[in-house]
Amino acid sequence: RVLSLFALMSLALTGCSGVDGFSVLKPKGTSGEMSLDMIKLALFIMLGVFAVVISIYIYVLIRYRKRKGKDVMPEQVHGNNVLEIVWTAIPIILLTILAIPTVKYTFNMSEIKASEDSLTVKVTGYQYWWEFQYPDLGIKTAQELHIPVGKKVNLIIEGKDVLHSFWVPALSGKVDVVPGRTNTLPLDAKEPGVYQGKCAELCGAGHALMDFKVIAQEESDFNKWVAQMQQPSTVQTAQQKQGEALFNQNCLGCHAGTNKNIKGPDLTKFGTRSTIAGILPHDEENLKKWLKDPTAVKPGAQMPKIDYLEPQEMEALVEYLMSRK
């Protein structure tokens, strides 16, 4: 039973280590490496404390056990100044050992943030999706944050509705997303790859599925992506034209931000994404499934059902969305 408990604990610590690019214990960025160093130091100190306390406990159990024929009450002690000073001083020393690197890393983090050539991305958390804006590049996207490998990225994080928490376990620690407040998170990725991100603050029915991805690319690939994002998509076929008209009628209000009450993700380059709503594989079947009943896929999603279109109209809408590359 103890073994299975440890297995469960290690699973919790790795955050489901089976998923690639989703482990605190395999950091792929400067900030994540700092966190892991701190985890190791804290674990090392805790194991030391555990060993000492358990040793004293076992010693006392054996040394002062009830023996046969000895029925007198042992001497009762009330207060011991030396002992009390010792067990106050030891935690102070241990906490100081923990505090020094914590403060050091905190200042190192702000150095990452301050570096000259860093890329700024504005992150906004909504129920239940993420918006990523690149103010210097004129790009806006959702659910997938593209970053160049090796470059410092300065995230400016805001919330629009309730509390969320931005977390990419392999790259960095969590940052609270608080409406009305701006938080920042400097991070970088040392290797190209897709790193899984999660909302780490209970924010409603769709919280568990408020996923996103960080796609770290070599600088040249990142620049290609930027160029593609900056290039307007064209509508080619008659079917795509019909889809565009349907999109403008049914979706544009929320997805272009003209509806003040409800805001949906920007879909300008929807065809380039790798997931639908941040969770489903990006294909036409899943897109139809999502459009027809969003809350069946992601509970609490604010998007209304688009279940009133003729099958042929649905085909056109899907075709149009997928063509936006």
The residues binding ligand CUA (CB under 6 A) are 125, 128, 164, 199, 201-203, 207, 210
Q: Which is nearer to ligand CUA, 146 or 198 (CB)?
A: 198
For the CB of residue 124, give the shortest distance to ligand CUA in the complex, in Å: 12
Which amino acid makes up residue 193? Answer: G
CA 321 to CA 325: how far, in whole Å?
9
Q: Which is nearer to ligand CUA, 49 or 202 (CB)?
A: 202
Q: Which is nearer to ligand CUA, 199 or 251 (CB)?
A: 199
Q: Which is nearer to ligand CUA, 197 or 243 (CB)?
A: 197
For the CB of residue 208, give the shortest distance to ligand CUA in the complex, in Å: 8
For the record, the structure tokens of 304 come out as 């209304």
CA 128 to CA 277: how far, in whole Å?
9
Identify the CA nearest to 319 among candidates 258, 261, 246: 246
For the record, the structure tokens of 16 come out as 């489901």
| Residue at token pair 């610590």 | 13
For the CB of residue 253, give the shortest distance to ligand CUA in the complex, in Å: 23
For the record, the structure tokens of 217 come out as 């690319």
Q: CB atoms < 10 A from the CB of 4, how many?
A: 8
CA 127 to CA 207: how far, in whole Å?
8
Q: Which is nearer to ligand CUA, 125 or 148 (CB)?
A: 125
